[in-house]
């Protein structure tokens, strides 16, 4: 169960309320005694105590239900018979989704409770009175900070930056030259809006191209720790609504990322590439510059993409090719190597 050092438990809640807010149902004929049972916490099947609710969405865990001490368990109809009689079933065809709703009721997102003294806010910045600006934060001239925004300790918000309402920014973040939407979440150490890696290389030597664009991040985007997003050179670097970006990702200047994309840790996307809606890039994948990745395309972990990718295509390898062909090549190479070994 969550460590109370770090998390504030808002429980207990009557079981009936948790069932309702998670769009779940009881089995038929359940009485008010069950509905009023007090639930104090969420827990895993294996370490649940009396008074907690757990969930089971993984068939491999059905056996472990036998020994759980949870008071109630979220489970789908088809797995109901695996639940021991002493555990109250909460019926939901998406147990993990129901769990997420109950867990976020039990432990609502907390405002950053660190001290907020000693921030340096420029006199020309507009900061909504409901915003929380923690210690050591620096806010530049003309910046606009919306309602209910939290800015964690020692983060730096540059000149003119706009941050939409309900957005939360963790500690030690740097943001410049950016327009950030509402309900965006930015984790510690992210760098957004710095100069891109753009310069002319010719016989006269290197010459920096002024990077005069900005970064535009739509609503509900999440950005991981120590991730870097460079601003555009003259057009903008853009991230679409609801896209989720993990830690240590590199997004170069002028990249355009669509809605609902999933970009896993340590991915790198080179300059001016366009990523379609709902594309998924697995960990450590790299995408070369000036490419178009189609809507819903998927790149396997460590894939190296050097050509456009069609809508819905799944590719793997370096250079990345259709994943079935990639697998065939690995089988072919394995057979060839074994044959040679036999020949020796």
Instruction: Show contacts with its own copies in window 55-94 (CB under 8 A).
Output: 94
Pure H helices in the chain:
15-21, 32-35, 95-106, 323-343
Number of residues that bind its own copies (CB under 8 A): 117
Beta bridge partners of 305: 287
Query: What is the maximum span of the chain, computed from C-alpha positions, in angstroms?
Result: 83
Residue choice 85, 86, 201, 342 for contact with its own copies (CB under 8 A): 201
Q: Output the smallest distance, CB 335 to its own copies, in A.
A: 7
Beta bridge partners of 322: 315
Per-residue DSSP letters for 191-225?
Answer: EEEEPPS-EEEETTEEEEPP----EEE-TT-EE-T
Q: How far is CA 35 from CA 95, 103, 144, 174, 288, in A?
A: 19, 18, 47, 48, 56
Q: Which of 116, 177, 253, 330 is catalytic?
A: 253
307 binds its own copies (CB under 8 A): no
27 binds its own copies (CB under 8 A): no
230 binds its own copies (CB under 8 A): yes
Q: Report the distance separating Cα 36 and Cα 24, nearest Å.
A: 16
> Is 79 or 172 the residue whose CB approaches its own copies more closely?
172
Q: Report the distance separating Cα 133 and Cα 57, nearest Å.
A: 40
Q: Give the contact letters, 243-272, x = binds to its own copies (CB under 8 A), - = no.
A: -x-xxx-x-x-------x-x-xxx-x-x--
322 binds its own copies (CB under 8 A): no
Q: Report the distance separating Cα 164 and Cα 202, nearest Å.
A: 42
Binders of its own copies among residues 120 to 139 (CB under 8 A) are: 120-122, 134-136, 138
Residue choice 32, 86, 206, 342 for contact with its own copies (CB under 8 A): 206
> Is 14 or 260 the residue whose CB approaches its own copies more closely?
260
Strand order in the sheet with 156-157: 120-121, 138-139, 156-157, 174-175, 191-194, 228-230, 250-251, 268-269, 286-287, 304-305
Q: Report the distance separating Cα 17 and Cα 5, nearest Å.
A: 26
Q: To which residue do tokens 């109250």 refer?
A: 88
Q: Output the smallest distance, CB 134 to its own copies, in A.
A: 7
Residue choice 21, 91, 188, 323 for contact with its own copies (CB under 8 A): 188
- Based on the residue annotation, tell me whether 253 is a catalytic residue of this protein: yes
36 binds its own copies (CB under 8 A): no
195 binds its own copies (CB under 8 A): yes
C-alpha dihedral sign at 81, 84, 86, 88: negative
Residue choice 288, 291, 292, 311 for contact with its own copies (CB under 8 A): 288
The answer to whether 164 and 146 are in contact (CB under 8 A) is yes
Q: Output the smallest distance, CB 250 to its own copies, in A.
A: 4
- 28-36, 62-70, 80-88, 217-225 -> range binding its own copies (CB under 8 A): 217-225
Q: Output the smallest distance, CB 310 to its own copies, in A.
A: 18
Q: Output the smallest distance, CB 33 to its own copies, in A.
A: 28
Binders of its own copies among residues 164 to 183 (CB under 8 A) are: 170-174, 176-177
Residue choice 2, 51, 294, 322 for contact with its own copies (CB under 8 A): 2
Q: What amino acid positions are annotated as catalytic residues? A: 253
């Amino acid at each position: 169960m969550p460590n109370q050092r770090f998390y504030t438990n808002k429980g207990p809640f009557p079981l009936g309320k948790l069932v309702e807010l998670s769009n779940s149902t009881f089995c038929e004929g359940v009485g008010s005694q069950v509905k009023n049972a007090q639930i104090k916490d969420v827990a895993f099947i294996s370490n649940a105590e009396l008074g907690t609710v757990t969930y089971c969405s993984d068939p491999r865990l059905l056996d472990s239900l036998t020994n759980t001490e949870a008071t109630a368990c979220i489970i789908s109809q088809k797995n109901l018979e695996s639940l021991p009689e002493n555990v109250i079933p909460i019926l939901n065809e998406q147990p993990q989704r129901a769990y997420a709703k109950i867990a976020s009721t039990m432990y609502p997102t907390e405002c950053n409770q660190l001290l907020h003294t000693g921030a340096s806010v420029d006199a020309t910045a507009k900061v909504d009175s409901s915003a929380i600006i923690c210690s050591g934060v620096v806010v530049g001239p003309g910046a606009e900070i919306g309602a209910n925004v939290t800015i964690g300790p020692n983060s730096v918000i540059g000149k003119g930056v706009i941050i939409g309402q309900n957005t939360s920014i963790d500690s030690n973040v740097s943001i410049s030259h950016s327009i950030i939407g509402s309900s965006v979440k930015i984790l510690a150490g992210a760098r957004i809006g710095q100069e891109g890696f753009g310069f002319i290389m010719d016989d006269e030597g290197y010459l920096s191209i002024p990077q005069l664009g900005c970064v535009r991040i739509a609503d509900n985007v999440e950005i991981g720790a120590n991730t870097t997003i460079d601003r555009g050179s003259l057009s903008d670097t853009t991230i679409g609504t609801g896209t989720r970006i993990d830690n240590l990702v590199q997004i170069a200047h002028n990249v355009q990322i669509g809605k609902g994309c999933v970009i896993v840790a340590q991915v790198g996307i080179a300059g001016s590439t366009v990523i379609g809606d709902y594309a998924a890039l697995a960990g450590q994948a790299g995408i070369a510059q000036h490419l178009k990745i189609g809507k819903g395309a998927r790149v396997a972990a460590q894939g190296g993409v050097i050509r456009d990718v069609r809508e819905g295509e799944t590719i793997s390898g370096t250079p990345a090719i259709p994943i079935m062909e990639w697998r065939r090549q690995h089988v072919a190479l394995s057979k060839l190597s074994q044959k040679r070994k036999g020949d020796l």
